[in-house]
Amino acid sequence: MRIRTVEPMELAAPGDELSSPWSSTVVLVKVTTDTGAVGWGEAPTTLMTVPVRESVREVARFYEGKELSAAAEAFEEFCRYSFYHSRSMEATSALSGVDIACYDLLGQELGVPIHRLLGGARRHRIRAYANGWYADCVAPESWARKARSMVTQGMTALKFDPFGDQFGTLSTAGLRAASARVAAVRAAVGESVDLLIEYHGRFQPEAAIRAGRELDQYRPSFMEEPVKPELSDALVEFRRKVATPVALGERLLTPSDFQSFLTRGLVDILQPDITNSGGFTYGVQIAGVAAAFGAPVAYHNAFGPVQTAATLQMDAWLPTFFLQESFETSWPEWKKGLVRGYRIEDGHFEIPDRPGLGITVDESAVEEARSEAMDPIGPEPPWVIAGTWVARSAPSPPLPGRRPPPVRKSR
């Protein structure tokens, strides 16, 4: 089986569908063989949609025309040629998307799910935590109400960013507001639900430590990316002064990055992202690093359904699995219709057991959502949940770069 084409496909929300900026685009990678078999991968977006999409075309040159069985050689050859790949999110993301699609094809060819290729499943059902559930939450009462709703749906762990528009520094009023929101969620869901505090790498060390010491009292299970990533050495002091474990990893790109953070004592829980840290090829190596340090792994998973399907295959095999992030309940409708083959129920994912990724991609839905536009910008950064940085009282008009609503023909 020979790889014929590697195609990046950008998808975008219809201009009339209101959603958080993070959920408005998807980059898929479609790998087609000379037999007509198709494998799917995914790469990240978050104001990187166009650069990552175009980087897939660079990676494609190393795979097209080669036997599928030579995909590992193509991976290594790209790494030799790509001088900046270990520090280029565009390069590693494009490579990850292609790698995921090749593993999908290998699983299909052999008739087994990818977790069988990795060595077999250690688990067939995994616990998820909800993210994205707190859109438009500002007052503590709204946080409490939506948190209770997620628990009613079966979720037993909730991640959220309570810091509003605070960035870099943290005012007294901002800290007080964040504390009130976390207190409201804890009171609403009780002690049986895990709370996970998302910082989004937004603070200077002093502000992060003040926030951590204040929020310790609500007994979160981890605090994610508390300091700006360029100031990561300060995590040593953060871990010394704050009781809650530190989680991070979505901005780390190579197995060596993860090893370095563990060796330097900067992190407790690893959060690799299969769409930017080398797909399954590096994923196996990162899992080995985590196991060597006894570090729990909770894969970052914030983009689309192909990413989720790939991540579930890793979760089935991971030696030190901890929790799995899920945005599924908060996705816009257009994204929910792209893929079939897995589901989340009662706060848990069942691991797909069909060949490859175990999913079916609705190619007509993919074609309908195709776009060449840049990510939308403003009024909130693309990494926040809508309505938590800038309150929105009504649907906003399409933002610059957003694809206009499709013209639908009447039957």
Q: What is the DSSP letter of 384?
A: S
Provide the strand spans (E) within 169-211. Answer: 194-198
Length of the chain: 411
380-407 core/surface letters (b: 16 or more CB in 10 A; e: else): bbbbbbbbbbeeeeeeeebeebbbeeee
Distances (CA, A) of 71 to 1, 3, 115, 251, 321: 11, 9, 17, 25, 27
Distance between CA atoms of residues 48 and 120, nearest Å:
34
Examine the residue annotation and report whether 124 is marked as an active-site residue of this protein: no
Examine the residue annotation and report whether 300 is marked as an active-site residue of this protein: yes
Q: What is the DSSP letter of 376?
A: P
Query: Taking a C-beta distance cutoff of 8 angstroms, is the pair 255, 280 a contact?
Result: no
> Quick one: how far is CA 201 from the chain centroid?
15
Distance between CA atoms of residues 243 and 219, nearest Å:
9
Distances (CA, A) of 137 to 3, 189, 380, 392, 403: 47, 16, 14, 10, 27
Q: Identity (one letter) of the amino acid at 114?
A: I
> Quick one: how far is CA 26 from the chain centroid?
11
Question: What is the gyration radius of the CA atoms in the chain, in angstroms?
Answer: 21
Of residues 163, 166, 162, 171, the one with CA closest to residue 144:
162
Active-site annotation holder among 85, 115, 124, 300 = 300
- Residue 197, helix vs strand vs coil: strand
Active-site annotation holder among 85, 115, 124, 200 = 200
Q: What is the DSSP letter of 86?
A: G
Residues 315/318/320/321 CA torsion (nearest 10 deg)? 0
Q: What is the DSSP letter of 330?
A: G
β-strands 246-248, 344-345 pairing: unpaired
Cα 357–374–387 angle (5° rounding)?
Answer: 85
Name 260's Cβ contacts closer than 8 Å, sequence gap at least 6: none
Residues involved in catalysis:
200, 300
